[in-house]
């Protein structure tokens, strides 16, 4: 998602008590299960790790995602093709 000025969509991450996660600037959900959610965002690939993760709301038109569950970690990878990056290690 890009804006008329050519800039990427605004990207915000809000975590409340490690039980609720809200993300804006979401372009796609690449993979998810109750322990891992892999997203494509305006700031690169984002991996959310935790337990009992459930997608409560997803609006790709608006770029919004809301996740409930216990959030353990959030990490980014700018380019999924980087050798030895987090996502490549995660999916080996």
What domains appear along the chain, each with residue ranges and CATH number? 13-90 (2.60.40.2000)
Q: Which residue has the higher pLDDT, 25 or 82?
A: 25
pLDDT at 83 over 50: no
Walk across the sheet containing 13-16 and list its strands.
13-16, 20-24, 64-77, 44-59, 36-41, 26-32
- Angstrom distance (rounded) from CA 92 to CA 5: 38
Please count the other Cβ atoms lying within 10 Å of the Cβ belonging to residue 51.
10
Of residues 2, 40, 7, the one with CA closest to residue 23: 40
Which pTM was predicted?
0.77
Tokens of 18: 């490690």
Task: Read off φ and ψ for residue 90, nearest 5 degrees.
Answer: -65, -35
pLDDT of residue 90: 60
Q: What percent of the chain has pLDDT over 70?
A: 77
């Amino acid at each position: 998602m890009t804006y008329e000025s050519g800039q990427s969509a605004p990207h915000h991450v809000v975590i409340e008590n490690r039980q609720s996660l809200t993300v804006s600037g979401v372009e796609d959900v690449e993979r998810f299960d109750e322990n891992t959610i892999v997203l494509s965002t305006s700031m690169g690939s984002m991996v959310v790790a935790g337990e009992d993760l459930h997608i409560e709301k997803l609006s790709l038109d608006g770029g919004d995602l809301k996740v409930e569950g216990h959030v353990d970690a959030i990490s980014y990878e700018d380019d999924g093709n980087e050798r030895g990056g987090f996502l490549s290690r995660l999916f080996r």
